[in-house]
Amino acid sequence: MRVDARGSLAMSSGPDALDQALVTIISTAPGERVMRPAFGCAIWDLLFDPVTPNTLGLMCQAVRDAVSRWEPRVELDDVAAVPDPDRSELVRIAVRYTVRTTNDKRNLVYPFYVIPQEHP
């Protein structure tokens, strides 16, 4: 769902619907939805972890697992987590996928903000 130009609710369709579905999956923490507690992406377990190669790998795996489980309309081609060189709290998660019904290759970049550790 989205808000249209008149301010009314409208359903997303086409490629936008898949992008929105992926954003919803990644941006939802497991346990956040009461009626569907397993839904979401475990990336939120890494919110307070330092950005290291290991953490980046765990982020990629969490996104792969969540999208594979919750979005059957796409086939994942690649997931990459890249820290922003200018902002230590930002990790850009690039998701490359193929739409199963049309074989359309698409990209989505999800900005994931970690909470940096404070230094004494």
Element spanning 99, H or E? strand 90-99
Q: Considering the chain, what percentage of its residues have pLDDT values greater than 70?
A: 84
pLDDT value at 11 more than 80? no
Contact 71, 64 (CB under 8 A): no
Mean pLDDT computed over every residue of the chain: 88
Radius of gyration from C-alpha coordinates of the chain: 16
Domain residue spans in the chain?
A: 9-112
For the question of whether the overall pTM of this predicted structure is more than 0.75, the answer is: yes
What does CATH list as the number for 9-112?
3.10.450.40
Split at pLDDT 50, 70, 90, the class of 118 is low
pLDDT computed for residue 16 by the predictor: 76
Average pLDDT over residues 18-30: 94
For 66-109, write each residue's pLDDT tens digit.
999 999 999 999 999 999 999 888 999 999 999 999 999 999 99
pLDDT computed for residue 15 by the predictor: 66
- Residue 44: DSSP 8-state: G
